[in-house]
């Protein structure tokens, strides 16, 4: 996956990394910032998504599509597609541009809207990356976990940098007997949950 990233995709990734860094430094408003994952989290997600069992691959929170590009590498390797959800129209425009320029329109389906309005469309989830507003994490967790296939993975971002806000959800996940779960200190902290077989 990592040794043959297409040139157009690498170019998009590097541009998004530069823009995200500038956003954080120049006081761009929270609504306009890309707020994307760091590169190491992208690689971490791609490895897990490529290794996840058969089932839908979903992302909740697209922004401009940076994490989706990493997940698209996994989808190419597992011969499947990613469905990614974004509520903000201005981010949807950016993401469409990213996917066209990176040449991944055959691997990524972008849905404009709230994931929670679409959860019923998925009954067998192999991998889900949750990276939305922290207020919806618990609701997303509650609808995704019952839909995970045995061995299916849910990974949620910001488990360390937003630990205080997410603590009730993290505590619940760590004792949830339907999954084996762990917080991994990579990037902003990833809650990794694997549905028991």
- Evaluate whether 95 touches 110 at the Cβ level (below 8 Å): yes
Which string of DSSP letters, residue by residue, matches 17-57?
Answer: HHHHHHHHHTT--TTTS--PPPHHHHHHHHHHHHHSPSSEE
Q: Should residue 37 be labelled a site residue for ligand SAM when binding is judged by CB under 6 A?
A: yes
Q: Count residues contacting ligand SAM (CB under 6 A)? A: 20
Q: Should residue 67 be labelled a site residue for ligand SAM when binding is judged by CB under 6 A?
A: yes
Among 36, 72, 80, 98, binds ligand SAM (CB under 6 A): 36
Of residues 33 and 151, the one with the C-beta less far from ligand SAM? 33
DSSP state of 128: E
Q: Should residue 48 be labelled a site residue for ligand SAM when binding is judged by CB under 6 A?
A: no
Q: Should residue 96 be labelled a site residue for ligand SAM when binding is judged by CB under 6 A?
A: no
Q: In the numeric block, which tokens belong to residue 101? A: 């320029």
Indicate the residue whose CB is closest to ligand SAM.
Answer: 61
For the bound state, the minimum distance from the C-beta of residue 132 to ligand SAM, rounded and expressed in Å, comes to 3
Of residues 87 and 144, the one with the C-beta less far from ligand SAM? 87
Q: Should residue 187 be labelled a site residue for ligand SAM when binding is judged by CB under 6 A?
A: no
Q: Should residue 60 be labelled a site residue for ligand SAM when binding is judged by CB under 6 A?
A: yes
Number of neighbouring beta carbons within 10 Å of residue 167: 11
Q: Should residue 181 be labelled a site residue for ligand SAM when binding is judged by CB under 6 A?
A: no
Which of helix, strand or coil describes residue 178?
A: coil
Distance CA 155, CA 130 (A): 6
Which of helix, strand or coil describes residue 139?
A: helix
Q: Should residue 115 be labelled a site residue for ligand SAM when binding is judged by CB under 6 A?
A: yes
Of residues 81 and 151, the one with the C-beta less far from ligand SAM? 81
Number of neighbouring beta carbons within 10 Å of residue 38: 16
Please state, in angstroms and as integers, the Cα–Cα distance from residue 112 to each residue in 4, 88, 92, 125, following that order: 30, 8, 7, 19
State the virtual CA torsion across 71, 50, 58, 137 in degrees, nearest 10: -90
Q: Should residue 131 be labelled a site residue for ligand SAM when binding is judged by CB under 6 A?
A: yes
Q: Should residue 55 be labelled a site residue for ligand SAM when binding is judged by CB under 6 A?
A: no
Compute the Cα dihedral for 118, 120, 122, 128 and give only its sign: positive
Candidates 2-10, 62-70, 72-80, 147-155; binding stretch for ligand SAM (CB under 6 A): 62-70
Binding-site ranges for ligand SAM (CB under 6 A): 35-37, 60-61, 63, 66-67, 85-88, 91, 114-116, 131-133, 136
């Amino acid at each position: 996956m990592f040794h043959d990233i297409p040139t157009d995709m690498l170019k998009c990734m590097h541009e998004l990394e530069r823009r995200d860094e500038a956003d954080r430094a120049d006081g761009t408003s929270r609504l306009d910032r890309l707020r994307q994952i760091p590169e190491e989290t992208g690689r971490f997600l791609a490895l897990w998504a490529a290794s996840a069992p058969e089932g839908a691959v979903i992302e909740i929170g697209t922004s401009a599509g940076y994490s989706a590009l990493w997940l698209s590498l996994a989808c190419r390797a597992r011969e499947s597609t990613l469905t990614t959800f974004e509520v903000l129209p201005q981010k949807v425009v950016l993401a469409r541009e990213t996917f066209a320029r990176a040449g991944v329109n055959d691997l990524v389906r972008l849905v404009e809207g709230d994931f929670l309005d679409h959860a019923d469309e998925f009954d067998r989830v192999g991998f889900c990356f949750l990276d939305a507003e922290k207020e919806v994490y618990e609701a997303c967790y509650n609808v995704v976990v019952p839909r995970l296939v045995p061995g299916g993975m849910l990974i949620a971002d910001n488990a360390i940098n937003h630990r205080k806000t997410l603590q009730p959800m993290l505590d619940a996940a760590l004792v949830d007997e339907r999954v084996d779960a762990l917080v991994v200190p990579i990037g902003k902290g990833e809650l990794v949950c694997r549905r028991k077989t």
